[in-house]
Structure 1
Amino acid sequence: MKRYLFLLVVGLLFFNFGNSQAYYFPERNSNWATKVEASNSFNQIALEEAVRFAKDNEYSGSRDLRIAILKGFEREPFHKILGPTKKRGGPAGMILKNGYLVTSWGDTKRVDMTFSVTKSFLSTMAGLAEDQGLIKDIDDRVGDYIWDGTFDGEHNSKITWEHLLQQNSAWSGELWGGKDWADRPPREGGVHDWKFERPKEPGTVMEYNDVRVNVLAYSLTHVWRKPMPIVLKEHIMDKIGASTTWRWHGYNHAWTEIDGIKMKSVTGGGHSGAGLFISAEDMARFGMLFLNDGKWKEDQLISKEWIQKAIKPSKPNVNYGYMWWLNKKGNRHWEGLSENIYYAAGFGGNFIVIDQENDLVVVTRWLEPNKIAEFMGLVNDAID
């Protein structure tokens, strides 16, 4: 009888922790819980080495992000700061196992710019729009929804929502003073070559381009008839218990009018300022939502079907989905790590990494960007 009870208890403990769906979801304004089983999943010495690596390899750019931005994008013609910036803190991060805090470093409550991590939040706004029927199909042409001239013309009229999400739309034009050809131009050729180059066929070539991402943000604002920060707050951040400290900014002059109401159209990045300003802890909550296939506790906030589409490799770039980077075998593959890992990444070394095979969410901030693969290798090696 005693043996039976012992096996029953062991079995229940295994089910509660070993079951990948038995995740912990922190309440708002609560201290993040730890669990012995989560900590015991790691070799503590190796884990400390990973954290030390993150601390020792701080992003080399200035902590005054206005300076770092202007230096980082000095090649771009006409580049200037158009939206808010903020001086940053030092390295910070969190590692979660089954939702429980295994370790953290730095100030995880500090609100900092997050640059292109914003894109993964923006793509989720498109997912919510499709889930709720505001967009019938992600393969629809955007011009069927936005008829104000943004998608007029032989070229732009071909662009679908998926093209914008995968950054292979080759949208041609100007938005908020930003010209598509001047954003992250190729290193070869002169400015006049870039300016007059014929746009590529939509869906054929990925080009990382914030002007086109901002076109997506503008288009979604009109589809939702609401500013994106309100959509994010109501449908995601409030429901996952995020703090009230995060902010999503647009350029100072990026206003549009919908239903007679003046609304700010936000950016999907921060390389001209603006974007999502957020803490590591709120980033970790967002990561937990995706680790659990769009479900927070028992509430399905974003459909699993959308997430599967969002992390499917695009044809032009096997390492990119719907504004999530994918650890497939390509130019950005992290050797020795699961090909099912996907992550949000931003300028200056901001990352939210989702590793479902190991039930991990890893957030790291202000890590030298070219060190992320090595850092994740150390985290993986620490799994006991």
Structure 2
Amino acid sequence: MKYTKSLTFCVLLFFCLSYTMAQSYFPPRNQWETKEASSLGVNAEVLAEAVAYAEANEYSGSKDSRIASLIGFRSEPYHEILGPMRERGGPAGVILKGGYIVAQWGDVNRVDMTHSVTKSYLSTTAGLAIDKGLIRSTTDKVADYVWDGTYDGEHNSKVTWHTLLNQSSAWSGELFGLQDWADRPPRSGGLDDWRFKKPVEPGTVMEYNDVRVNVLAYSLLQVWRKPLPQVLKEHIMDPIGASTTWRWYGYENSWVNVDGVKMQSVTGGGHSGGGVFISAMDHARFGLLFLNDGNWNGKQLISKEWVEKVQVSSEANQSYGYLWWLNKGRRKWEGVEDESIYYAAGFGGNFIVVDKQNDLVIVTRWLEPNKIGEMVKRVRAAM
């Protein structure tokens, strides 16, 4: 009897300790606790080698984001810079274990363009709209919500929130002076081949296209009836204690009238300028929120159901969810077998990696993009 009671006590103690250890630390605004890697069971030497790898593999593009963007999209016939841009900083990043900082490098408080990492922030405003009942279901046709002509016609009327969120909408048209067919055109073929090519059926092909992502942002503005940066600030960034330095821009010509008030429709990336400008530390807070299934220190800011939805492979691309990349299919990182990893990714090596299995968030700025898989592998080796 005495032995049974002792065994029961030990089992309960084990589970209590395991539960306590599993709880994340949530940093207050303007504060963040750093812990020695070894105190959290992490091999400090191996982790230091991973950080050194990130520092040694800086993105090789120009430090002038305007020039880098123009060069990077030189195949586009009408590409021009329409929104704010900023010269980038140097390599920087932070690694969280259980919410604590275990490593950081570079200027983690510098506000930089983050390019297509913006898409994962945009996805979050869609999730909030679902949570609050502003959108009934992602399978709804967007034309039922936005009836100003944006989704007129036999083709565009088929577009759903689901296909906009996984970049398979094939929406066809022009927005803020930019044609969908001129965005990342095929490397072969002439201008007329692209211009008059019949769009594919919505939901069948994933096409990385910023014009269509910006159509999503415009459509969400029509649903929320207030600027998306304000939505993100009120519901996510302020509650997680983000700094006041981040910004979310649109184009100089993307101002629209909403209920008699002039508002800017923001962009889903920095392709032609704009998007989210933010620090590595604010990225880390955002990543920590998703690591904890949308819960911040006991408060559910965005539903766990939405966090799970963004990680579901789309029908058109196994490696892509709702504006988040997944470690699956053709984009699976060599040597990283865990398919539960998902991440936000942007031009120039900007990443927010969520590794639930290891209770990790990895943020990188200006890492050579094809090195992120190796970087993650090295960090995981330190666990």
Report TM bin, short chain: over 0.9
CA-to-aligned-CA distance 1:36-61 (integer Å, 9 cap, x gap): 57644221111111101100100011
AA partner of residue 218 (structure 2): Y
What corresponds to 1:81 in structure 2? 81
Residues 141/10 of structure 1: CA separation in 2 closer, same or farther (3 Å cut): closer
Partner Cα separation in structure 1 for residue 281 and residue 34 of structure 2: 14
CA-to-aligned-CA distance 1:263-312 (integer Å, 9 cap, x gap): 00000000100000000000000001100000001110111111111110
Contact 1:168 1:207 in 2 (8 A): yes
What corresponds to 1:168 in structure 2? 168
What corresponds to 1:25 in structure 2? 26
What corresponds to 2:334 in structure 1? 335
* Identity within the alignment, %: 66
Contact 1:254 1:265 in 2 (8 A): yes
Contact 2:76 2:184 in 1 (8 A): yes
Contact 2:173 2:179 in 1 (8 A): yes
CA-to-aligned-CA distance 1:59-110 (integer Å, 9 cap, x gap): 0111111111111111111101000001111000011011011100001111
- Length, aligned pairs only: 375
What corresponds to 2:221 in structure 1? 221
Matched, 1:234 2:234: yes
The residue matched to 1:287 in structure 2 has which SS? Answer: helix
Residues 47/209 of structure 1: CA separation in 2 closer, same or farther (3 Å cut): same
Contact 1:312 1:321 in 2 (8 A): yes
**Equivalences for residues 1-384 of structure 1 within 5 A:** 13-17=17-21, 19=22, 22-30=23-31, 32-36=32-36, 39-328=39-328, 330-337=329-336, 338-383=338-383
Q: What TM-score results when the alignment is normalised by the length of structure 1? A: 0.95
The residue matched to 1:331 in structure 2 has which SS? Answer: helix
Contact 1:38 1:98 in 2 (8 A): no
What corresponds to 2:3 in structure 1? none
Partner Cα separation in structure 2 for residue 11 and residue 179 of structure 1: 57
The residue matched to 2:96 in structure 1 has which SS? Answer: strand
Partner Cα separation in structure 1 for residue 37 and residue 319 of structure 2: 33
Deviation for aligned residue 1:34: 2.4
Partner Cα separation in structure 1 for residue 15 and residue 330 of structure 2: 43
Contact 1:44 1:382 in 2 (8 A): yes
Contact 2:112 2:279 in 1 (8 A): yes
Deviation for aligned residue 1:29: 0.9
CA-to-aligned-CA distance 1:178-225 (integer Å, 9 cap, x gap): 100000111122221111000100000000000000000000001000
Compare 374-383 and 170-179 and name the one that shifted more.
374-383
Contact 1:34 1:102 in 2 (8 A): yes
Contact 1:94 1:284 in 2 (8 A): yes
Residues 38/153 of structure 1: CA separation in 2 closer, same or farther (3 Å cut): farther
The residue matched to 2:152 in structure 1 has which SS? Answer: coil
Deviation for aligned residue 1:35: 3.3
AA partner of residue 314 (structure 1): S
AA partner of residue 143 (structure 2): G
AA partner of residue 15 (structure 1): Y
Partner Cα separation in structure 2 for residue 294 and residue 233 of structure 1: 15
Deviation for aligned residue 1:335: 2.5
Partner Cα separation in structure 2 for residue 88 and residue 118 of structure 1: 16
Partner Cα separation in structure 1 for residue 299 and residue 362 of structure 2: 23
Give unpaired runs (5+ residues) of structure 1: none
Give unpaired runs (5+ residues) of structure 2: 1-5
Partner Cα separation in structure 2 for residue 97 and residue 40 of structure 1: 8
RMSD between aligned alpha carbons?
1.6
Partner Cα separation in structure 2 for residue 310 and residue 9 of structure 1: 36
Q: What TM-score results when the alignment is normalised by the length of structure 2? A: 0.95
Contact 1:167 1:212 in 2 (8 A): yes
Contact 2:146 2:219 in 1 (8 A): yes
Residues 46/75 of structure 1: CA separation in 2 closer, same or farther (3 Å cut): same
AA partner of residue 27 (structure 2): P
AA partner of residue 24 (structure 1): Y
The residue matched to 1:305 in structure 2 has which SS? Answer: helix
Runs of 4+ in 1 over 3 A off after TM superposition: 6-15, 35-40
Partner Cα separation in structure 2 for residue 352 and residue 71 of structure 1: 25
